[in-house]
Amino acid sequence: NAGVTQTPKFQVLKTGQSMTLQCAQDMNHEYMSWYRQDPGMGLRLIHYSVGAGITDQGEVPNGYNVSRSTTEDFPLRLLSAAPSQTSVYFCASSYSWASGRALVTGELFFGEGSRLTVL
């Protein structure tokens, strides 16, 4: 069972470089999201998607781009890396179900994380 796969696990970039963090899941989950984790800040939502072709901004979206062309994949792009983007990034996926007028997110399945350092 692969679950949620993130690559790369470690990356060092120079300021201004661009890169893509890959995230793939094999559980046919509609919901996928990216979080960054910094000491003392918890998990902060960057972008999320409730299905192929649909993305939305989280709490800290600036400097990041996402797309969702397939159910399985949800890559995160850093357009021009900055030292402030040094962090551990987690991708997560989940199923959703309708509850009244809301779409409730179920248990999040996290990838192992990607540690990014921007010099």
Cα–Cα distance, 65 to 81 (Å, whole number): 12
What is the spatial distance between Cα 1 and Cα 38, in angstroms, rounded to a whole number? 29
Window 61-90: residues binding other proteins (CB under 8 A): 90
Least Å distance, CB 110 to other proteins, is: 4
Torsion of the alpha carbons at 105, 60, 77 and 25, rounded to the nearest 10? -20
Q: Which amino acid is at 99?
A: S
Shortest Å distance, C-beta 9 to other proteins: 12
Q: Which stretch binds other proteins (CB under 8 A): 20-28, 37-45, 67-75, 79-87?
A: 37-45
Sign, CA dihedral 102-31-66-61, equals positive
Single out the residue of 5, 7, 17, 44 in contact with other proteins (rule: CB under 8 A). Answer: 44
Counting contacts by CB under 8 A, is residue 108 touching other proteins?
yes
Interface residues with other proteins (CB under 8 A) are 33, 35, 40-45, 48, 50, 56, 58-59, 90, 99-100, 102-113
